Each structure stands twice: as C-alpha cells, then as structure tokens.
Structure 1
Amino acid sequence: MAPEYAMEGLFSIKPDVFSFGVLLLEIISGRKNNGFHLREHGESLLTFAWKLWSEGRGLELTDPSIKESCDGVQVLKCIHISLLCVQEDPADRPTMSLVVHMLGGDTIPLTQPSQPAFSVGRDVKTLDPIGLIHKASTTNEVSLSDVSPR
C-alpha cells in the first residue's frame, strides 16, 4: 500500500504505480512483500531490493528458480523501474504509461531512484502490526507466541 494512502488516506493514480512496483519486485524475487523480513536486519522487501541494487548486487534479488533462464540486463532494468515506482513522494514516481514505455523500450533514460518508501526497516522483536501476536525470545533462542483473540 502506498505510504500516502496508508498514512493520510490520500488517493490518486500514484498508489497504483507504487503497488505495481511492489508486485514487480515480488515477481523478480519470488517472495511476497507481506511478511518478508530478514530477522537479523529487520528489512522489508523494498529495503532489501534497494540495498542490493544500490550496492550493484541487484541480480542477487532474482528468484533462484528463474535466475539461469532470464536476461540479467532485463532483470536489473525491471528492478530499477520497480524502485522508481516505489518512491516515497508520489511526484517522484512515473505514471503507468511511462512505466509501460520504460519496460517496452530502451530509448527512455531511467532516472536514479532515491531510497524507497518505508525503507527504514522494522523491529521484528516488537508486536506485529495488528498487535495480536507477541513474539519474544529467551536466552536459549526458544520463541514463544501468545495468541490473543479479537
């Protein structure tokens, strides 16, 4: 969900662009944004994709089941476009028609994206977003889940 819609309820055509960027990252990585995190760093899929791409290691995001059969240049182009789509400021995101042109051709120069929205990560040791399940770990690395009904 686009940050301007999630935080302020603002709706325009740009939240669809944001969602498309997330979907494109999910297709490339083979992982869902919902529930994705790296426990040691508290990273989301957007944060992880940005980190790899900005370090020049974008191909590491590629789903291993398609890695051998895809064109690396095209994968990096798709990651680049998806990062443009998930910019925090809606004005910095391309329109969907421009996204279609960027995906379909090589004549449109791609601008450099900035760090995507919600890329600060999250603390995975706190309550889940709904606040229903609390996960705590003890010194012996055993986890305990308390489920509370609504």
Structure 2
Amino acid sequence: MSSVLVMNGPNLNLLGTRQPEVYGRTTLAMIEADCRAHADSLGMELEFVQSNHEGVLIDAIHAARGVRDGIILNAGALTHTSVAIRDALSSVELPVVELHLSNIHARESFRHVSHIAPVALGQICGFGPQGYILALDALHGHLTKED
C-alpha cells in the first residue's frame, strides 16, 4: 500500500469561504473526505497537513522522507516565493505532484512562476477540487508503473 502526504499551504484552511468565485465553495474537509474515499479505492494511505507557516510545511516534508512514498502539494502562494520549500522537496527525493485549484497561468503574472514545478513530476491546475483526485491518480500511476 502506497503512503502519500497531501499538503496544503497558506490560506487553504479558508476554502469554501475565501474568494469562492476563484476557489469555489468546497471546503478543505470536503476535499480530504473525497481524497480518502478515492485513495481507498486505489489502495493508498493518506496523511494530510495544512499550515499557514512555511517552516511547518518544510518540517512535514522532511518527516515524509523514508516514511511516505510521495507528496501531493498545494503550496498556495508559497509556490511563487519559497525556495526553501523547493529545496526541502529536492532533499527528500520523493515524487511530488504540484497542485492548484485555480489555473495559475490564467491569473496575475506573479502566479505564473512556480519554484515547485522544476522538482515535481508534474503540475495540475485549474480543475478545482477535482485536481486532488487527478493528482492522486497521477501519483498512483507513477508509483505503480512497471519499469
């Protein structure tokens, strides 16, 4: 059974009420429940972490090393600013799927740059909460592919 860390960064605790025209009305708890149900069908175990603090996220990434098989990361605005998170991801050498609810490439220009993308397997953005299911499928496919 694969074990995956699903991480959510700053302000994602406000999903469902924060800018619903951009992020929708689905709460983070609803996303987690949907992910758990889908992960069960894939035979995956999930751990969820959400923090508004960069250091907490970095500590969670470090703690995943040797314990988890991969990471799904919605770093929120830290995607565009945190070299430290990028370095942490590189250091643990786990496959990472970068995720965003909105299409960051169709938004403000500062959101077009991701420090996470160069160290990720891929990026999923613009599909709202369904993006988490897509990320689970992508990581599951990566972890179970035969060489």
TM-score w.r.t. the length of structure 2 is: 0.30
Q: Counting helix residues as a fraction of each chain, which structure ranks higher?
A: 2
